[in-house]
């Protein structure tokens, strides 16, 4: 029962969609323009850098908060933080009130890494920034993160099989949601950082 409660807590927080709400205030549905997902990257593309950063920070905060709250509420429950944080990632991707059409989960996944291991978070954040600046594509940093974090937890942090398996669920779902980005990247249609920073793609 405690795991269910932790998951429900995480999912409820994850369903909060700052990208969708901010776009609605500006008079449009973010899921119908740009990359058509309610997340930080599309907020960056459609509303500019300030909105994209703000949305990204909020998306990170909700999964981090979910994990930390679960750890406080269920201190004796192994993996409570991982369960709640992963549920927040899934809530972000599949929010019930948006007909399960949310974001792609990368920013909340970063928030999960912060809650579970701040040292990894700092390292991977620096790596993602460098990779994105060098390649112009954040999706490459996304795949680096979702593959390396479960590996780090299992091999170096020795977090335990349950935590690793739960985090792997988030990684697999995020991979599936970003598969179309790989197809666009291979065909030269993926929107890079420099193009996203230009005004021509904004609503």
Mean pLDDT across the stretch 162-191?
88
Measured in degrees and rounded to the nearest 5, phi and psi for residue 28 equal -145, 165
Mean pLDDT across the stretch 98-124?
96
Among the ranges given (5-19, 137-151, 187-201), the one the predictor scored with the smallest mean pLDDT: 187-201
Q: What is the pLDDT of residues 1-54, one digit of tens each?
A: 899 999 999 999 999 999 999 999 999 999 998 778 899 988 988 898 899 999
Q: Give the pLDDT band (50/70/90) at residue 158.
A: confident
Q: Rounded distance, CA 1 to CA 115, Å?
A: 22
pTM: 0.92
Q: Where are the domains of the chain?
A: 2-201
pLDDT score recorded for residue 135: 86
Residue 192 contacts by C-beta under 8 Å, 6 or more apart in sequence? Answer: 136, 137
Q: Give the pLDDT band (50/70/90) at residue 181.
A: confident
Measured in degrees and rounded to the nearest 5, phi and psi for residue 198 equal -80, 155
pLDDT score recorded for residue 200: 47
pLDDT score recorded for residue 36: 85
Q: Give the pLDDT band (50/70/90) at residue 139.
A: confident
CA distances from 108 to 2, 11, 55, 86, 87 (A): 22, 11, 10, 9, 10
Q: Rounded distance, CA 18 to CA 168, Å?
A: 25
Q: Give the pLDDT band (50/70/90) at residue 198.
A: low
Q: Rounded distance, CA 48 to CA 44, Å?
A: 5
């Amino acid at each position: 029962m405690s795991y269910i409660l932790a998951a429900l807590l995480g999912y409820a927080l994850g369903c909060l969609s700052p990208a969708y709400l901010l776009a609605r205030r500006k008079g449009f549905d973010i899921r119908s323009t740009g990359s058509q997902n309610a997340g930080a990257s599309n907020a960056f593309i459609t509303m500019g850098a300030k909105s994209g950063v703000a949305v990204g920070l909020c998306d990170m905060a909700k999964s981090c908060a979910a994990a930390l709250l679960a750890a406080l509420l269920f201190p004796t429950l192994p993996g409570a933080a991982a369960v709640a944080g992963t549920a927040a990632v899934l809530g972000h991707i599949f929010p019930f009130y948006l007909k399960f059409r949310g974001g792609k989960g990368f920013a909340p996944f970063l928030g999960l890494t912060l809650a579970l291991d701040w040292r990894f978070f700092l390292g991977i954040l620096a790596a993602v920034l460098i990779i994105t600046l060098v390649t112009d594509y954040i999706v490459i940093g996304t795949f680096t993160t979702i593959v390396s974090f479960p590996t780090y937890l299992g091999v170096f942090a020795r977090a335990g099989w349950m935590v690793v398996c739960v985090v792997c669920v988030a990684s697999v779902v995020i991979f599936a949601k970003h598969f179309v980005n790989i197809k666009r990247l291979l065909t030269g249609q993926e929107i890079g950082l420099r193009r996203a920073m230009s005004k021509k793609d904004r609503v």
